[in-house]
Structure 1
């Protein structure tokens, strides 16, 4: 998988010190006033220009002698939605007689603290706060540094530092499922298998066989029958979960973590919640995206490290950057025993076709509808609401076609969204089937 390395530190020399217009004006006025006082024998003019001469001389004598280097460092380059980090700007060498200002330009989905984005340098250090309000990879606003010496005589800048980068991971929505994952076929996991073995779920009580563990002995039955009996369990196994994420569109106003979600916000956060749930249950997970260019390829994995890679992949999504993607590459070589979860608002016909394709290949498919309800209930624009209702009528026909094929379509509601569906799928998988002899 291709890795993305954000820039955390930026450094640049601010250049040579240059005299300011105020310093040059003080020199010229002091010189002209002194000449006029001497030629006109006006002592009062000499008194008037004396402060300008003192300020000009003081500023020139106290001018900085060395070049200054400014360094900007971001506290954290990987954030969660709504998280806050700090931006520290330092100038070296630090001079107590030098005053400076740091300016941070406005950037999308980045709130500045203070809101003006301006901070003063104190002892060569300035600190600004940043709050990320939406997932994704983006650049931090441009950092500019300007310094002035005593009496404002010399200045350097403003100089723009190289841009810094940060990645904001989506906050997984609240999700939990009590239903087991169907088709467990692995070695380790928390899903009950149909075959007996070493596990945690009770199966039956049977007579002792050579090789049984002594801690499995069931003493009440053994004392009553006079023969040793042990408790047997079902083995615990892991399942394979395949997530297919729709990136063709981002419907709705983009308001960030503090506002109403778009369709892609619901999709990405639901994918993060599902990944967290299944990976914490020791299941194996595969993530594929459709409709987004330059998304790193993520293989099958398990554990918390794989969860971090999944969230990094979701943060790299750019909606509608690959409109010609048919999704055939994404659904290629899917495990026959995998639970395929398709997350989509079901507005793009390609995603409906992919769900039909997976079902036709004999995969266990569940479509999760991530269409935000507030889009069709917009009181501010009745014409837009009417257009959405008309589009949803045709979408209902597509959903009905999926259900006729046996593909369940469930709306995303957070915790418990998939409980009943997973129970039905597990019951259907355990049912007897016709087979050739």
Structure 2
């Protein structure tokens, strides 16, 4: 935690984290009481040397207590000046305001109920402290929680600790760059970035054809016309392929949010803050895929398997990427999800990209149903690399059973012509390989 001092006045009334009662420090109070007893004993026993030894600390303690501040200590934790959500760096500004007479404040900073730092800072009026933390997680999370306690002159008195002040933020998933992505079997529209088999404008050369009503004069190929019809009785025009767009629907399975430690999968323990979970990987993967398609002029939508709410319809442009990233950041497990009776509704001929851990049959069933409906389906496995060194014999057996069932589930998806990508193992190369495959395969919609 870094700090910068600025002059100012105490916080305004109603600021969160106020505390107004000042109390003597226990050690100072006990020491003053002991010295007062020594002073009385020396006075009554006729021992001026003993009385002098006790008089000094008593006078000093009384002087500090008379000078102790009066008024509340206020603390607020606001947004940092250079806060950039999504960069893995969370910042905040802790504003500490003390009444006149206070000289310092003890600041205790925690994150996720774990102590981060405990420092004593000098404060005169108001001081702004910069709080910075690092995270590998995405979505709503805590930046920090601070407890502040004022310190009076000579550290003889302290204020009542303020109420905890907390700042929360939403970390957007980063949208990484992908060199190439697969396309759906059918393209839509008359504009876009991909050449379609239909005649139009903007794409590659389709053929040279005799002029017909509706052809533009600027499309006349005079060289071909001079070679085939020197008398100009017939004009020949160059025809091109139309540029079409792809429609992609991203389906995120937010029902599971598991980390690399299998012991935490049961839900009794939460994953460690320094471990990225499966939902973090799903958010990052979906953001990267969305950016890859939107940069090419395609339309991308978003749906969630874990909740019953209206999906984000397909759209294009930079603002659509911002909507998708924000919607992904807000996805999280919400209680016991209901069983889906049908797959999410997607436009005809769209590409479906499903992000899941495939620890149960729900996501696999949705992928198979979408493939039987004729869509090209890409299943992205977002389960993190599992750590097994600390597991006991029973945990190893349980994990092995889960892994065998999951492997069978993924093999069944491959048998149903669902293309599989593992995000933890060079996903860019896998997606580029799928992009090079023929878009139109015989028997579309029928398992190979």
* TM-score, L = length of structure 2: 0.75
> Residues of 2 paired with 1:136 and 1:371: CA distance?
18
Structure 1's 400 and 39: CA in aligned 2 closer, same or farther, altered over 3 A?
closer
Deviations 1:97-123 (A, max 9, x none): 511111112417x9x8xx435453444
The Cα of 1:146 is off from its aligned counterpart by: 0.7
Structure-1 residue corresponding to 2:151: 148
1:129-148 matches, within 5 Å, as: 129-148=132-151
Q: Which moved more, 1:246-255 or 1:265-274?
A: 246-255
> Residues of 2 paired with 1:10 and 1:207: CA distance?
79
Runs (4+) off by over 6 Å? 206-211, 216-230, 255-258
Structure 1's 22 and 294: CA in aligned 2 closer, same or farther, altered over 3 A?
farther
Structure-2 residue corresponding to 1:171: 174
Structure-1 residue corresponding to 2:321: 307
* TM-score, L = length of structure 1: 0.76
Structure 1's 137 and 77: CA in aligned 2 closer, same or farther, altered over 3 A?
farther
The Cα of 1:149 is off from its aligned counterpart by: 0.5
- Give the secondary structure class of the aligned counterpart of 1:105: strand
Structure-1 residue corresponding to 2:186: 183
Structure 1's 359 and 231: CA in aligned 2 closer, same or farther, altered over 3 A?
same
Structure-2 residue corresponding to 1:4: none
Structure 1's 36 and 231: CA in aligned 2 closer, same or farther, altered over 3 A?
farther
The Cα of 1:191 is off from its aligned counterpart by: 2.2
Structure-2 residue corresponding to 1:158: 161
Deviations 1:136-174 (A, max 9, x none): 322344310011100223221222334321222333455
Listed as ranges, the gaps of 5+ residues in structure 2 are 1-13, 262-270
2:67 to 54, 62, 65: 62
> Residues of 2 paired with 1:66 and 1:166: CA distance?
31
- Give the secondary structure class of the aligned counterpart of 2:85: strand
> Residues of 1 paired with 2:132 and 2:120: CA distance?
10
> Residues of 2 paired with 1:35 and 1:240: CA distance?
91
1:57-96 matches, within 5 Å, as: 57-75=62-80, 79-80=85-86, 83-93=88-98
Confirm or deny: 8 A CA contact 2:143 2:169 kept in the other structure. Answer: yes
Q: Which moved more, 1:46-55 or 1:386-395?
A: 386-395
> Residues of 2 paired with 1:280 and 1:47: CA distance?
84
> Residues of 2 paired with 1:218 and 1:94: CA distance?
86
1:283 to 292, 298, 306: 298
1:228-247 matches, within 5 Å, as: 232-247=239-254
The Cα of 1:242 is off from its aligned counterpart by: 1.0
Structure-2 residue corresponding to 1:5: none
